[in-house]
Structure 1
Amino acid sequence: SILCTYTGVVGQTVLLPCSYVVNPRNKTVPICWGKGACPLSRCTEEFLTTDGWKVTHQKIKRYKLKGDLFRGNVSLTIENVGEADSGIYCCRIEFKGLLNDQKTSLKLVVKPAETTTFRLQPQQTSRNTQSNNPIVRALSCYFYCFSQLKILFVFPQEITSTANELQKSGDATRIGIYIGVSIFMVLVLALALGTFILKRRSYSKKKLQKSSIIFMSNPLPKDIRNIAGERLQVEENIYTIEENIYEIQDEYEYSGRAS
């Protein structure tokens, strides 16, 4: 009988290995699992047995055989292990023949889970200093929520590291959160700036178009039209005077040549 020690943490899933070689002569053989040292026959406090092909007795549902029985894998899986599961276990493979059984003794030590306490401090804010801008309020709520997310959620079955490894993992998680928040802030600011520029350009374009339409639709004032008419009349009078001068000059030259 071989005694091996295995360590688990409360809430984890623990595997106690046990197997045998299946060959044409042995084929599959019955086995039993019990708690306590292996006796001369069978198992003490027997809680699980097989007939070589399937499980015939299962006293505790958390104790299961998840391996391939047809290949001789009869390892014991204990789900959601507790401190009461600590102790010595016996895996007995019942080969035919006198004193021919294969016995494996395994010691299981279950330790309590490491617990970390986090203090969540409330955020002190004044209602008078809060901005009415919905974007600013949304960003404030976002940062507040992320500042409170300091509890690391993990499945009990996946807790396999020590307390120091958990602390390192928590530091890496916080760094990842800070990087994610920074990237999100850059994207939000870029989006807000782009929206502001587009709205500004759209407003300026609409204002310019509106001014052009008003100018084209309104006629010139009456005073301006009168001034333009008087200027045109003066120019016409000048042209008439010049024509009269030329006519008088021609008559004078003609009378001179006649005399």
Structure 2
Amino acid sequence: MSDSLIHPSAVIEPGARLGGGVRVGAFTYIGADVEIGDNTQIGPHCSVHGPTRIGRDNCIAGHAAIGGDPQDKKFRGERVELVIGDRNTIREFVTINRGTSGGGGATRIGNDNWLLAYTHVAHDCLVGDHCVFSNNATLAGHVEIGDHVILSGFAGIHQFCRIGAHAFIGMGAFVNGDVPPFVMVAQDGYGRPRGINSEGLKRRGFDAERIGAIKRAYRTLYVAGSSLDEARARLGEMAGSSADVRALLDFIDAGERPLLR
């Protein structure tokens, strides 16, 4: 903590551990049992409660509330934690809660994510890497988000839902079922699938052959009019020649909630 730059008005509780180059803004509170990695910046008027572990090179803007108690009536003060990786950008008024004992004991956020203003990540959520949550996007408890997922503004994800890698959730869409990898969801009352995120896949280096296989898988699952069991069987045949289709099928097979269809 000797190389850290702490504003005189900030409150750092005994037991907090701050790495080198950490900056803490005016009137920010850092609780006991908080660990903050090197070169992370925390703006003014923030609160970080423990047990929370934050990695290095994160940027947390003013008025963020990190590591608060889970908003769960079953919570009785047991030791649960929040774990945040490296190089995340967390903007103004973002709220991220710790986990619960019934949900694995931890909320986890990976690396290189952007959480824009007023987004909320509830207890026991698992967020991958390289995700973008636009303003006011909200995760209920126990949500799992894969890598490279984009949530548009005011999107809401129901508890226990899973969002597969490279999925795109449109503005204002409410999601109450699992969304397979690569799929786009648009607002229509509750969100409904509307094709694949082909533009996002192109930007991440997917070639035409890979995208074509994913499109065929999407049509099998959502357009052909087949039952889910029939679609699974057909996807199983297609998965032999496409690792992306295999990933999509594995996601479907691992689900406990209904698939968004």
TM-score range, shorter chain: under 0.3
Bigger relative contact order, structure 1 or 2 (CA pairs below 8 A, ≥6 apart): 1
The structure with the greater share of residues assigned to strand is: 2
> Which structure is higher in helix share?
1
Q: TM-score, normalised by structure 2?
A: 0.18
